[in-house]
Amino acid sequence: MLKVGNISFSYQEKPTINSLSFELEKGRSVAVIGESGCGKSTLLKLIYGLHDLDEGHIFWNDNEVLGPKFNLIPGMDFMKYLAQDFDLMPFITVAENVGKYLSNIYPEKKNQRISELLEIVEMTEYANIKAKNLSGGQMQRVALARVLALEPEVLLLDEPFSHIDNFRKNSLRRKLFGYLKEQQITTIFATHDSSDVLSFADAVLVLKNGKIIEEGNPKSIYDNPKTKYTASLFGDVNELEIDGKTEFIYPHQLEIVEKSNLNVEVVNSYFLGNHYLIEASYNGKSVFFENEKQIPIGEKIHLNKKP
C-alpha cells in the first residue's frame, strides 16, 4: 500500500503541496486532476523521491520514500516515473530504447519482452527506427513502453497521452490500463483529460493550490461535484439555481421543455458529431446544453433539468 501522510513542499516561500494525505492499495489506479499549477506534477515527483519533503512521510509498504538528501541517485528502485520530456536516447532504435535497462543475459527473453511492450503501445512496426526520427506522440508511446519494461510496483505517469493522436489514444488507453490492472501495478497519473479519469481510474484526487479538495470514485465525483471548479474539470458546466438551490449541471443534463423558469436565448450552435452543443444567454450568463439539431441564433426556448 502507498501511504502519503501530511506532506508539504515548496519551491520558494509559498507551498506547492500543502498538508496532503491519501492512501492507495496495491494494483489500483488513481487520477490526479486540477488546473495547471495546482501541484499535480510536483506530487508525482515527491512520491518518486526527486525532491525532499518539507514535512510529512511517504511509504510504499514498509519502505519510506526518501529524496536527494538520502539517495545519491534520486528515485526509488521499485517505482518508475514518466515525465513529460520522455528522455529517450535519440540515436538508438525504438527497440534498443525499450530494452535499455533489461538484462542481456537471456537475449531471447529480452527480445520477447521488448516485442510484448511494443505491441501494447502499438509501436511494433517502428522497432528498428531511431528515436530521433519519431513524432512526439510516437516518442511518448516508446517512453511508456520503457517505463513498463522492468515491471515496477508503482508507476507514476505525468500526462501520459498528451502528445498522442485522438484516433489512437482510445485504443492505447484500453491496452495500457488493461495491462496495468492485469499485472497489479499501482498507478498514479496526472491528467487534464476527463476520459482518462472516468473510464480508467479507480479513484480520483482533485487538487487546488496544492491541497486535495475532493476525493472518491470517479462516478461519485462526477455526479456530485462539491464545487464548480471540480465540475469544470470534466468539461462545460452550468451553475444554475433550481428550486432555490444552486446546482452544477452538465450540458447533457438539460432538456428543452414547453415552459419553465429557465428561459434562454440561443447564441450559437457547435456541431459535435452526434449532437450539437448549444450556447444560450440567461440573465447575462452563458448556459450550455445539448440538442440533436442545430437551433437558430436568437431563438428563445425553455430549459429544465432532466429527471
Give the DSSP per-residue string, 233-257: TTS--EEEEETTEEEEE-GGGEEEE
Q: Indicate the burial class of 148 (C-beta count within 10 angstroms; 0-12, 13-18, 19 or more).
A: buried
The DSSP 8-state label assigned to residue 307 in this structure reads -
Residue type, 17: I
Please report, rounded to a whole number, the percentage of residues in the chain having pLDDT higher than 70. 100
Tell whether the model's pLDDT for residue 167 goes beyond 90: no
Starting from the edge strand earliest in sequence, which strands make up the sheet with 63-64, in order? 17-24, 2-9, 55-60, 63-64
Look at residue 79 in the predicted model and tell me its pLDDT: 93
Radius of gyration in angstroms for the set of CA atoms belonging to the chain, rounded to a whole number: 23
Look at residue 31 in the predicted model and tell me its pLDDT: 96
| Alpha helices in the chain, H assignment, sequence order | 40-48, 94-98, 107-120, 136-148, 166-182, 194-200, 218-223, 228-232
CB 18 within 8 A of CB 8: yes
Secondary structure (DSSP) of 125-181: GGTTSBGGGS-HHHHHHHHHHHHHTT--SEEEEESTTTTS-HHHHHHHHHHHHHHHH
For helices 136-148 and 166-182, angle between their N-to-C axes, nearest 10 degrees: 0
Per-residue pLDDT reduced to its tens digit, 69-117: 988 888 888 999 998 887 889 999 999 999 988 888 888 899 999 999 9
pTM of the model: 0.90
What is the set of domains in the chain, with CATH numbers? 2-228 (3.40.50.300), 236-305 (2.40.50.140)
- Residue 267 pLDDT class (50, 70, 90 cuts): very high
Give me 13's grid cell. 516561500
Please report, rounded to a whole number, the percentage of residues in the chain having pLDDT higher than 90. 79
Residue type, 97: N
Task: State the Cα–Cα distance between residues 204 and 76, nearest whole angstrom.
Answer: 24
Quote the mean pLDDT of the chain. Answer: 93
